[in-house]
Amino acid sequence: MNKSAYILCLEDQADLLDDLLLELRDHGYRAEGCRDGLTALVLLGESRFDLMICDIQLPGLGGIELLNRIRKEKRRYSEIPAILLSAYGDRDFQRAGHEQGVKAYFVKPVDYRELLVAVGGILNAAEEEL
């Protein structure tokens, strides 16, 4: 497992973002967070992230819209693997996420053990593709 991976976390609720960043960092990952999709676009352009964990409902530019936009832009980050988080188990959101290449979908409250297993699996798969 690539513990030096750099993960971008998008969550508009500050306490949940802090918890997510703490869990990832406690398990050896480098993690950076933001609370909206527009800031995420700036961060994606400035740094090379290995994975993005993204809430669906964000102010300004939501998670699905953000993924749609970065997939169309054809920049170096266009193929970043993504995990979606949502307060709702809505199948339409799940379907839309899968259309954008989402690797995993979690309904809040997130079980961090399960999330960490998914993170490790996605990063391992991405590493094997290289």
pLDDT digits (tens, 9 = 90+) for 1-26: 566 899 999 999 999 999 999 999 99
In a domain, 109, yes or no: no
CA distance 83 to 12: 15
Q: What does the pLDDT read at residue 60?
A: 87
Dump pLDDT digits (tens) for 39-91. 999 999 999 999 999 999 999 899 989 999 998 887 888 899 999 998 877 67
- Strand order through the sheet with 30-34: 30-34, 6-10, 51-55, 82-86, 102-107
Which two tokens mark 92?
């339409």
Confidence class for position 118, pLDDT limits 50, 70, 90 = very high
Residue 3 has phi, psi (to 5 degrees) of -75, -10
Q: Are 37 and 55 in contact (CB under 8 A)?
A: no
Domain range spanning residue 97? 6-102
Q: Give the Cα separation of 100 and 9 in Å (integer).
A: 17
Looking at residue 2, its pLDDT comes to: 63
Please report the pLDDT score of residue 73 as a whole number. 84
Annotate 14-61 with three-state secondary structure. Answer: HHHHHHHHHHHHHCCCEEEEECCHHHHHHHHHHCCCCEEEEECCCCCC
Q: Classify residue 16: in a domain, yes or no.
A: yes
In a domain? residue 40: yes
Query: How many domains does the structure of the chain reveal?
Result: 1
- The CATH number of the domain holding residue 36 is 3.40.50.2300
Whole-structure pTM value: 0.91
Instruction: Place 116 in a pLDDT band, splitting at 50, 70 and 90.
Output: very high
Q: In which residue are the tokens 């997939």 written? A: 71
Inform me whether the pLDDT recorded for 130 exceeds 70: no
Within-domain flag for 120? no
